[in-house]
């Protein structure tokens, strides 16, 4: 399975999964249809699935045009998003499995950004290959999504699920927010040497107009404050009593950063 990153809108990424052996493709969170249709034409591939993580327009905006072009494609989304995702016909819950080509993904229920958000985790196909996490707007490179429909406790639980995945997991999040996220991270954990190195690397990459997605989950665990709420030093910095309070205060600061 090849993962192709397609820029869309102002800062979105759409992910096209391509199985060369069958000439089929699936798409994750199509913000708009045209980049997907153009890539399918280039590959000569047939779209068989749309994997949505949540209902926001910049993740489902391409659903209906893609279904018009490929009416037999199946639209997947969270069970609690029923009625909010265009064309959805499969309603997923925690622990469900979805398949594409020869690969199978586990569905993770990760509310917080929205009440119905899900993620898709494809484990490694071989010992020397990475896993792939398609997490929508729950986990960002260097950050996490805003809490529009969920609570801090829900988001901590959701991020805990993602944090428990192997370090050698590629994080395919849906926005190019890394530079701003790390700029914020330095304000709360400026002495983190791993974070300082990552900040310099990301600055250089963005100056070259290179994408920072996918990110490695192992790097996120060392540098993303929204995966580090249980660190005593970070709790002290937030004047917090526990992990949820630490996360809540971090998110509040980021919301006005």
pLDDT digits (tens, 9 = 90+) for 45-81: 999 999 999 999 999 999 999 999 999 999 999 999 9
Q: Which residues are catalytic?
A: 54, 56, 58-59, 113, 137, 175
CATH topology of domain 2-255: Metallo-beta-lactamase; Chain A (3.60.15)
Q: Is 42 left (phi over 0), alpha (psi -120 to 50) or beta?
A: alpha
Domain limits, the chain: 2-255
Average pLDDT over residues 23-39: 98
Average pLDDT over residues 175-192: 96
């Amino acid at each position: 399975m090849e993962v192709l990153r397609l820029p869309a809108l102002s800062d979105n990424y759409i992910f096209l999964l391509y199985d060369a052996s069958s000439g089929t493709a699936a798409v994750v969170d199509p913000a708009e249809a045209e980049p997907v249709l153009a890539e399918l034409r280039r590959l000569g591939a047939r779209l068989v699935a749309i994997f949505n993580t949540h209902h926001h327009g910049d993740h489902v905006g391409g659903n209906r045009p893609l279904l018009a072009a490929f009416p037999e494609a199946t639209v997947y989304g969270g069970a609690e998003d029923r009625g909010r995702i265009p064309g959805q016909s499969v309603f997923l819950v925690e622990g469900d499995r979805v398949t594409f080509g020869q690969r199978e993904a586990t569905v993770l229920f990760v509310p917080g950004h929205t009440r119905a958000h899900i993620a898709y985790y494809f484990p490694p196909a071989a010992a020397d290959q990475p896993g792939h996490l398609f997490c929508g707007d729950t986990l960002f490179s260097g950050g996490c999504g805003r809490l529009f429909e969920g609570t801090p406790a829900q988001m901590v639980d959701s991020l805990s699920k993602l944090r428990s995945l192997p370090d050698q997991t590629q994080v395919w999040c849906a926005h190019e927010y890394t530079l701003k996220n790390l700029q914020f991270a330095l304000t709360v954990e400026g002495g983190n040497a791993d974070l300082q190195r990552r900040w310099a690397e990301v600055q250089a990459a963005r100056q070259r107009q290179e994408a920072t997605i996918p990110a490695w989950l192992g790097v996120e665990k060392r540098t993303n404050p929204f995966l580090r709420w249980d660190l005593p030093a970070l709790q002290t910095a937030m004047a917090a009593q526990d992990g949820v309070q630490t996360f809540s205060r971090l998110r509040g600061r980021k919301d006005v950063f």
